[in-house]
Amino acid sequence: MAAPRDGLGAVETEGNGGRSESSGAEVVLSSDPATPAPLCPHGPTLLFVKVSQGREGTRRFYACSACRDRKDCNFFQWEDEKLSGARLAAREAYNRRCQPPLSRTQCVERYLKFIELPLSQRKFCQRCQQLLLPDDWEKHGEHQVVGDVSLTQLKRPSRLLYPLENKKTNAQYLFADRSCQFLVDLLSTLGFRRVLCVGTPRLHELIRLKASGDKKSNIKSLLLDIDFRYSQFYMEDSFCHYNMFNHHFFDGKAALEVCRTFLQEDKGEGVIMVTDPPFGGLVEPLAVTFKKLIAMWKEGQSQDNSHKELPIFWIFPYFFESRICQFFPSFCMLDYQVDYDNHALYKHGKTGRKQSPVRIFTNIPPNKIILPIEEGYRFCPLCQRYVSLENQHCEHCNSCTSKDGRKWNHCFFCKKCVKPSWIHCSICNHCALPDHSCEGPKDGCFVCGELDHKRSTCPNISTSKKVNKE
């Protein structure tokens, strides 16, 4: 395989992309709460620090939380920079101009009008990605327009809209039907009645489709997503325009209350959060956001339930395991491989690679989660969880150790199982790809020197920071 690093190089680069490794900057979360971050069109910005050769600089700056590409949002401000009143006013005006042209209420009004139209008058502009009312037709006369938009099509907006694939901001990769179906069935088997979908528009629509189709599974769903196009298809109580990197609700308090009410309904019983963030996103800000959503859910709990956790499915590549578990120690990674429709790499079948690196991280006990036997998963009674067919139980590690779905081999020098393509290197004193360079961390992590991740996803990063300070 030509791709670097065990064939997952491309993916790992994505995982480290954006502001972390490639542009040499890292997010700083311990910003002083007394100084609120300045706002960009995507809500409060995040504080970053420049990093070069693994060393942190001293001058910190604010940049957009959502857009990891300056082309999408070019906000930049040094932490200690003082702005004139005129510049602040200009920025505020700019932020307002960047908001969607229609308010949330206007979108709902338009939708209600749209569904009243006869089929022949229901049109969708592909260029503008917009449902058209008769008054709009003229303006879109020259555009590619789809006619006869049926109610069935309206219920599946993720098929009507094109996926926003720009890697660095939206990275919209939609679930393949098989994976989406699996998730919906699983949620229903586990007995959930409400699903908070954070960045999972296709899951959201499938849940609603099922709920309207069969009376038995009446699961409710609320979608939080930064993709404003979805607001054309849902009422206020089923979609909020939201930024998951800073917990920002674009439509203010009313939208926040929609979310709160949803989480706290039935004293918080029967609800789960499912999220599939862009993989290039930084794990820390996501973890901070999810902890805020958890806190919101907790507020609605009675005292004697205080030990309970909000059930979560966090869908992310397997090589983020140590990073995610650092923030959520109760999470474990399931072996289920999540497949996507429009992702060349993670698609199952002839054209895409067979093995998707994307997994589900969850705080639900894994023995409760049955993975499909017909797709080759089996139950390991020793590990008390379902695992991939090739993931064999290692008697030395006493666990099914494979992370990527291939059979891993136990190394007696390293005292652990390693990827099948690795061999033990006596110079480096650990296992690595046969053609690795023994000189050390050049291609790998600045912090610990391991070759399978970069600094930004290093499980040892917090310890090393502490060491540096001392």
**Using CB under 6 A as the criterion, which residues of the chain lie in contact with ligand SAH when the complex forms?**
66, 170-175, 199-203, 225-227, 242-245, 276, 278
Going by C-alpha positions, the residue among 259, 185, 267, 242 that lies closest to residue 219 is 185
Q: Which does residue 276 bind out of Zn ion, ligand SAH, none, counting CB within 5 to 8 angstroms by kind?
A: ligand SAH
**Angle between the N-to-C axes of helices 201-213 and 177-189, in degrees from 0 to 180, rounded to the nearest 10:** 60
Quick one: 274 or 400, whose CB is closer to ligand SAH?
A: 274
The helix, strand and coil proportions of the chain, stated in percent and rounded to the nearest 5, come to: 30, 20, 50
Measured from the CB of residue 323, what is the shortest distance to ligand SAH in angstroms? Answer: 18
Rounded Cα distance, 347 and 305, in Å: 41
Measured from the CB of residue 389, what is the shortest distance to ligand SAH in angstroms? Answer: 24
Quick one: 45 or 356, whose CB is closer to Zn ion?
A: 45
**Contact characters 65-104, Zn ion, x per CB under 5 A:** --------x-------------------------------
Q: Which does residue 414 bind out of Zn ion, ligand SAH, none, counting CB within 5 to 8 angstroms by kind?
A: Zn ion
20 phi, psi to nearest 5 deg = -85, -75
Closest residue to ligand SAH, judged by C-beta, is: 199
Quick one: 318 or 422, whose CB is closer to ligand SAH?
A: 318
Measured from the CB of residue 165, what is the shortest distance to ligand SAH in angstroms? Answer: 10
Quick one: 267 or 396, whose CB is closer to Zn ion?
A: 396
Q: Determine if 465 is a binding residue for Zn ion (CB under 5 A).
A: no
Could you give the C-alpha distances from 12 to 59, 167, 397, 454, in angstroms and in order? Answer: 28, 13, 26, 8
**Contact characters 387-426, Zn ion, x per CB under 5 A:** -------x-xx------------xx-xx--x------x--
The answer for residues whose C-beta is within 8 angstroms of residue 424's C-beta and 6 or more apart is 411, 413, 414, 430, 431
DSSP state of 347: -
Q: Which does residue 242 bind out of ligand SAH, Zn ion, none, counting CB within 5 to 8 angstroms by kind?
A: ligand SAH
The answer for residues whose C-beta is within 8 angstroms of residue 456's C-beta and 6 or more apart is 16, 20, 21, 26, 282
Rounded Cα distance, 224 and 241, in Å: 6
Going by C-alpha positions, the residue among 466, 443, 460 that lies closest to residue 21 is 443
Rounded Cα distance, 24 and 212, in Å: 48
Measured from the CB of residue 29, what is the shortest distance to ligand SAH in angstroms? Answer: 16
Which parts of this chain interact with Zn ion (CB under 5 A)?
Answer: 40, 42, 64, 73, 394, 396-397, 410-411, 413-414, 417, 424, 431, 445, 447-448, 450, 458
